[in-house]
Structure 1
């Protein structure tokens, strides 16, 4: 996956980050970063998230003491029976006030936290909507927490009857869990559990939709880029495997390509997408090239970087795998004559990879004269721009066809550069 230009691990992560601890946030980041290798895996994750959505009313006020959670987590993860469960522990607790307070505090903290997590969330889950495999994870959480007799101990704590013998019982139980190696699986499973809660909270708050995973064309209804404050929503369907997008400078081509690509990427990792409805294929590879710069470390120029990126995408597509790739302003790093010629060759060549989808944006209006475009073999779209009193008004609406609006000279003259660079009057 070449998706650096989508800023998934920075900006997009925050759309789904409603976690209460660092480990759960790291798990959300992991879910966002790791590709899924089959349609079955995508649907499995979709169904897990839909199961959480069915239980969303439980998690609208999801909370716990972050300090308690972290301290209990560290206590369990680092528990050593030689340190915490020495011989004659009951006697030592009776004669050491410091040790008694320490052990009692740890046990009360654990019971209080676990009682909240179990009674407010795990025990109240409706498990029917979840896939069978994930039901096993829920059972693991339920069995682990239930084994601590939480209602019994929580009642003793509340009635101030929680004594030394109860502390010893809990420490002994933790020691047994450690010996059976049940603590780490529980903590890992609960971290993922909270990550899922975080993701569905983001989906719900932003009103994203789960796409249908299909074969063939991409279809997006009222899609948009979720980081825009007041986004213009567009609808897009790919009838060809090669799409050319035109439009003047500042018309929003790069943002549009990011919005489409983000829908496709999120859909391919089993997440909901920023659209009203969506049908998306699963792609073996996703490559998004938008914010290209000269590769200083390898010594590549902007143009050579474009060439290498295109070569890698083409080589991946030759094995009949399904690939998605975006090239924003392809070959802008070379002169216009070369750019036009090799752009035409590229567009024609990409038509050969029928299982893939390629989106190319360009300022080269001459490309629309290609026979493949005139015959609608290559799809064309443009972002609309109106001229009012010689001033461009960008609508950001995606339309079929191509744009002939050229605003470079208009903006040049509007800023007075003709006068500045060619003064009509000279000072004598």
Structure 2
């Protein structure tokens, strides 16, 4: 699946203000390196159904075995071991006999701070190696999914190295003498440095997968079912936007017979949230995670392309309307390759007058309706467009309900069949006391 930078930001998967991003909400990594690998996984959605199903199996397997995940390895462990491997402290020059004893005594007495660093770091190396052994023993079985098994098999192979194998049989390390610690320090940094770096990298990769599994459990996400069909479709029950604290859920069905959803409703009624909820769910499905829905079936999509938060560019001298036109143009070019796309458009042509916006919108919608290899969700406040589209066979009309009761505005956030007719802009202006402020102006 492909998403461009604009779509990632439109859907808030990544955000310039990190704490407001979907990635931030789903980041359950315990290591900074794991977080970077998780970002890579989110930046590269999977490219076919088989890869998605394999990723799902990895996360499901981890969840089934989660209680066995070793807690001995922390971000502190990883950071200390990395600093240890990068340290410019010399090792003792011998690993046995009088030479070892002499060098060890000199290091401990004359270079006491260096020895303190080595001892503390060595204990963290011990935690890493022993934690990895527990991980391999608990998770590496005949039933382990292939992707996970490849990582664990490599870790198992590394742990068979003589120096690491020795560490696995020395208890918690507290009983070791300073001579033994400095001997192991020499063996590790002179012979196993490269392999220890690799163990660190393997753990970060595993941490990223574990984080995805924890997010699925924490948010009670449900794994979707993919179907290999010649035309794209989405069928979801009780789908919701997971970033909201009290989300309203929706049922949605788009298929070749109804591949264009025409969405209307008042400002603040929930149109944009709905569009983003669908986009986020389809994205999560394509990185192999569960989705925020009671149930979801869908086809594989080659990409998501959005037109939600268009920006003008003062440095290029581009107006808002020109930027809108360019984004629509790029959308058409992108989806003309015959592949399956989910196209999300929110309030098209806001940068021009109403009559112009109607004509432009109608021309674009009628053109997009011919593209049956894609699914479209388009929201608009131009309700009048629906009259010109009523006879189109593949368009689905939905709206978000709003009510005015005693001059008070009420939103149900419920998705209903049909077309919205409410015009509440003036009411909002009045409710927010803007008219009163204008009267008081001098």
TM-score range, shorter chain: 0.7 to 0.9
Which one of 139, 146, 151 corresponds to residue 153 of structure 2? 139
> Is 2:79 the counterpart of 1:74?
no
* Alpha-carbon distance in 2 for matches of 1:95, 1:417: 80
Question: Which residue matches 1:283?
Answer: 301
* Alpha-carbon distance in 2 for matches of 1:378, 1:186: 54
Secondary structure of the residue aligned to 2:105 is helix
Secondary structure of the residue aligned to 2:410 is strand
Secondary structure of the residue aligned to 1:370 is helix
Which one of 322, 326, 337 corresponds to residue 340 of structure 2? 322
Structure 2 counterparts to residues 126-165 of structure 1, below 5 A? 127-145=141-159, 147=161, 148-149=164-165, 150-154=167-171, 157-158=173-174, 160-162=175-177, 164-165=179-180
* Alpha-carbon distance in 1 for matches of 2:385, 2:404: 23
Q: 1:264 Cα deviation (Å)?
A: 1.1
Which one of 177, 192, 198 corresponds to residue 211 of structure 2? 198
Q: 1:163 Cα deviation (Å)?
A: 5.3
Q: 1:341 to 1:183 in 2, by over 3 A?
A: same
Secondary structure of the residue aligned to 2:170 is helix
Which one of 3, 6, 10 corresponds to residue 5 of structure 1? 10
* Alpha-carbon distance in 2 for matches of 1:57, 1:68: 20
Q: Deviations over 1:39-96 (max 9, x none)?
A: 332222222222212222234x8464543331112323x378x933635455311333
Structure 2: stretches of 5+ with no match in the other structure? none
Question: Which residue matches 1:209?
Answer: 222
* Alpha-carbon distance in 1 for matches of 2:259, 2:374: 6
Structure 2 counterparts to residues 115-264 of structure 1, below 5 A? 115-119=130-134, 121-125=135-139, 127-145=141-159, 147=161, 148-149=164-165, 150-154=167-171, 157-158=173-174, 160-162=175-177, 164-165=179-180, 167-169=182-184, 171-178=186-193, 181-214=194-227, 215=229, 216-239=232-255, 240-264=258-282
Q: 1:184 to 1:38 in 2, by over 3 A?
A: farther
Secondary structure of the residue aligned to 1:360 is strand
Secondary structure of the residue aligned to 2:267 is coil
* Alpha-carbon distance in 1 for matches of 2:424, 2:142: 57
Mean alpha-carbon deviation: is it higher for 356-365 or for 66-75?
A: 66-75
CA RMSD of aligned residues (A): 2.7
Secondary structure of the residue aligned to 1:327 is strand
**Residues 46 and 286, structure 2, Cα contact 8 Å, conserved in 1:** yes
Structure 2 counterparts to residues 345-360 of structure 1, below 5 A? 345-360=363-378
Secondary structure of the residue aligned to 1:26 is helix
Question: Which residue matches 1:406?
Answer: 423
**Residues 115 and 154, structure 1, Cα contact 8 Å, conserved in 2:** no
Q: 1:306 to 1:125 in 2, by over 3 A?
A: same
Q: Deviations over 1:159-201 (max 9, x none)?
A: x2445246424632553334xx433332222101011111211
Question: Which residue matches 2:91?
Answer: 84
Which one of 273, 295, 300 corresponds to residue 313 of structure 2? 295
Question: Which residue matches 2:29?
Answer: 19
Aligned residues: 415
> Is 2:347 the counterpart of 1:333?
no
Q: 1:141 to 1:92 in 2, by over 3 A?
A: same
Question: Which residue matches 2:54?
Answer: 44
**Residues 46 and 270, structure 1, Cα contact 8 Å, conserved in 2:** yes
Secondary structure of the residue aligned to 1:3 is helix
**Residues 294 and 301, structure 1, Cα contact 8 Å, conserved in 2:** yes
**Residues 221 and 276, structure 1, Cα contact 8 Å, conserved in 2:** yes
Q: 1:233 Cα deviation (Å)?
A: 1.0
